[in-house]
Amino acid sequence: MKGIPPVQHQNVHDVDPVALVQAELRAHPNAVSGADGMPAETAAAIKACGKDGTEPGSCPVLAPYYRDLTGDGKDELIVGIEFPDKMMSVRVYTADPDGRLNRIMATTETVISVELAGLDVILRVPSGNRGYELITAWSWDEKQRTMLPTREQIVRVPAQSQGPASRGPGPAPVRP
């Protein structure tokens, strides 16, 4: 990733996630879709992160997570970026022995949760069918040298006690 210092000893814990995302914005200033895409209001908020006069908590770059996802014994850097409309970009970076930081995963979803399990990043997102969620496991693929969606599962979510307006239409009335 151009615009950030080399990563010493493949230690991604030393990488400033806000500076990293700001460098990505500089590298792809007009990208609004795809792996580099970002809504204009999110890009503007990220550019303002850490500057004097910005509101605390207004930076859409979330606190990073670290986990060895490639199985090489070194942690990768997992960054979430909040987008409007409950969308989130989830990005994963690894450092190579030459100090280069490489993005190995990028996806943008309406995220219910992001979980780390073993070597996988698990995303839970709403499905197109009411009462169900889609769970996708992203795993390292050594041959492709990237994280790929390797397993998907649609699961029923337990019914929650909700108000009548959120339950959807009831049965049709019975006519005598």
Model confidence at 14: pLDDT above 80: yes
The mean pLDDT of 14-39, rounded to a whole number, is: 88
In the chain, what are the domains?
A: 8-157 (2.40.128)
The CA-to-CA distance between both ends of the chain, in Å, stands at 71
Instruction: Quote the pLDDT of residue 54.
Output: 61
Residue 145, phi then psi, degrees to nearest 5: 60, 45
Sheet holding 76-82: strands in order across? 65-67, 76-82, 87-95, 101-110
- Per-residue pLDDT tens digits for 39-87: 999 999 999 998 766 666 789 999 999 999 999 999 999 999 999 988 9
* pLDDT of 30 over the 50 cut: yes
Which is it for strands 87-95 and 76-82: parallel, antiparallel or unpaired?
Answer: antiparallel
- Here the tokens at position 12 are 């991604």
Q: If you average pLDDT over every residue of the chain, what do you get? A: 87
Strand-pairing partners, residue 34, are none
Separation CA 55–CA 58 (nearest Å): 5
Contact 152, 135 (CB under 8 A): yes
The CA distance from 88 to 79, in Å, is: 10
In tens, the pLDDT along 101-121 reads 999 999 999 999 999 999 999
pLDDT above 70: percentage of residues in the chain: 88
Q: Does the structure show a pLDDT above 60 at 161?
A: no
Would you state the pLDDT for residue 82? 95
- pLDDT bin (cut points 50, 70, 90) of residue 175 is very low
Give the per-residue pLDDT at 134: 96
Burial of 42 (0-12, 13-18, 19+ CB in 10 A): buried
